[in-house]
Amino acid sequence: MRALRGRFIRGLLFSGLMFGLGLYGAGCDEGTSDDDATPGDSTTGGEDTGGGGTGGDRAELEAPPGSVDPDELPDSDLENQPGNGGGTGAGTGGGTSPEGDQESPWGRPEADTGRPLPPRRPMNGSAQAAYRRGLQAAASGDSAQAQQAFQEALRADGNAYKAAYNLGVLADRAGQDARALQLYQQALRIQADYERAIEGIARIHLRRGNANEALSFVRPLAEQWIRNLAVQAIYGDVLVQANRPEEAIEAARRALRRDERFVPAMAVLVKANLRLGRTELAESILNQALQTSDSDAELHYLRGRMHQEAGQLQPALASYRRAIELEPSYTEARMALGLQQLAAGNYQEALQQFQTASRLAPGVAAVRLALGDALRATKQWQQAQAEFDRVQEMEPRNAEVHFNLAMMYREAGEQYPGMNNLQAYQRAVSELNRYRELMGPSLPRDDPSSTYLEELGRLIEREQRAIERDRARAEREAARAARQAQEAQEGGGEGGGE
């Protein structure tokens, strides 16, 4: 099983925008504020976002992350905020754009070029009050109450784009992709360059395996709003997912020419260079980014990934835990940590990570698959079966779920409700054969399924021999009992004749 899981881990670690989003202003389920999740997108003057920021000098308008004018004060509300797990709205914010013609490490500065960004206006008072209630409800895990409050905010102010976005996050986490897309699009119609809505839509396309569709959606927005550095970072991330790392590097460099300390663009460079196999360069950029913002969760996740690829598992675990500490709704970090714990036999901790991840990203088959595997490892057979069934509904041609089902039946044997050992082993063989069929030409020559099939063949033969022995024994005992009964009857008849 471990060999298969290794392939799964490596595939997962290249995900960037694949999993769930955080609420703006509060972390659903985890009780964290969105100011803890995404810097530079925190204050809008009249809005209450749950703390953080010093935006009193910008009472009427909000700027997106990193998208600042060259003359903005260095103590902008966009600086010194914690990082965003797995997203691209994080970073150092503004106030660091190079001035004049000074050359930056990334090329000639471009901070004063491009189309001006549309203004971001705060909600009215009634909408703000409802919005705050929604954040509080989300922080306490009451999704229904949060949804009601955000809807109220949107009714009170039709321009409350953050309320529309948060409704989209709630739908996204409930596995309602179509509804989430509608709400993200609504937020984007209200605020045409809203990076979080752009990111939400891109994530859904990527989760569906439509990297080209995600790219077609993000590219024109990135070209239109070149001053919005968060959008540029999202564009770079999507390019990495579309296996176009060289273009991703160019997109990130364009953002860094505007703000050489913009951390999300540095993270794109790290991921793109890792995709290209430039590990040393990626590590150098990552170290530079961490010096800029040590509280960015994605950077710690990337460091964990690099430790893991180098076989340094303890530092990797520490980095994943740090990423989760900084951003509790960071699904990728929870998955990476959970998979390592599962491989190490720490099943309960793995189960906890996957359970949280499944609440954050219920519609992602990889999350359900991992949760099912942890339930299997803790011998919760029927709950594991339910998760594997969900995976098959989501992805009918997912091969790995059949491998995991086979392992479950093999391990459970007669402990699986309604089955004896022979039935469980035969079911395991059936699942392994289906796994191999779906893998097709991509099945490795040393795939462990071959070994498991041989082992199961021996187990089935043993069970069949045991069944035959039991049947023969039962027949002998029945024959003996019949003879004894016959002898007793005959003996009784002779005694009566005397």
Domain ranges of the chain: 21-346
Q: Does residue 88 carry a pLDDT above 50?
A: no
Q: Does residue 69 carry a pLDDT above 60?
A: no
pLDDT for position 470: 84
Q: Does residue 12 carry a pLDDT above 60?
A: no
The band of 363, judged by pLDDT with boundaries at 50, 70 and 90, is confident
pLDDT for position 478: 86
pLDDT tens for 120-131 read 999 999 999 999
pLDDT for position 26: 40
Long-range pairs of 150-155 with CB within 8 A, sequence gap ≥ 24: 153/123, 153/127, 153/128, 154/127
The closest alpha carbon to 286, from 304, 310, 259, belongs to 304
Cα(32)–Cα(296) distance, integer angstroms: 15
The band of 235, judged by pLDDT with boundaries at 50, 70 and 90, is very high
The closest alpha carbon to 420, from 475, 477, 459, 457, belongs to 459
What average pLDDT does this structure show over 69-81? 29
Distances 465 to 164, 311, 459, 461 between C-alpha atoms, Å: 64, 45, 10, 6
SS3 107: strand
pLDDT tens for 446-478 read 999 999 999 999 999 999 999 889 888 888 888
Task: Decide which of 324 and 28 is more confident.
Answer: 324
Supply the angle between the helices 195-207 and 177-190 in degrees, to the nearest 10: 150
Q: Does residue 74 carry a pLDDT above 60?
A: no
Q: Does residue 179 carry a pLDDT above 70?
A: yes
How many other C-beta atoms are found inside a 10 Å radius of the C-beta of residue 23?
Answer: 30
pLDDT for position 78: 22
Lowest mean pLDDT among 184-188, 251-255, 483-487: 483-487
**Fold entry, domain 21-346:** 1.25.40
Lowest mean pLDDT among 5-19, 77-91, 355-369: 77-91
Q: Which amino acid is at 377?
A: A
Looking at the chain, the whole-number percentage of residues with pLDDT higher than 70 is 76
What average pLDDT does this structure show over 167-190? 95
pLDDT tens for 433-447 read 999 999 999 999 999
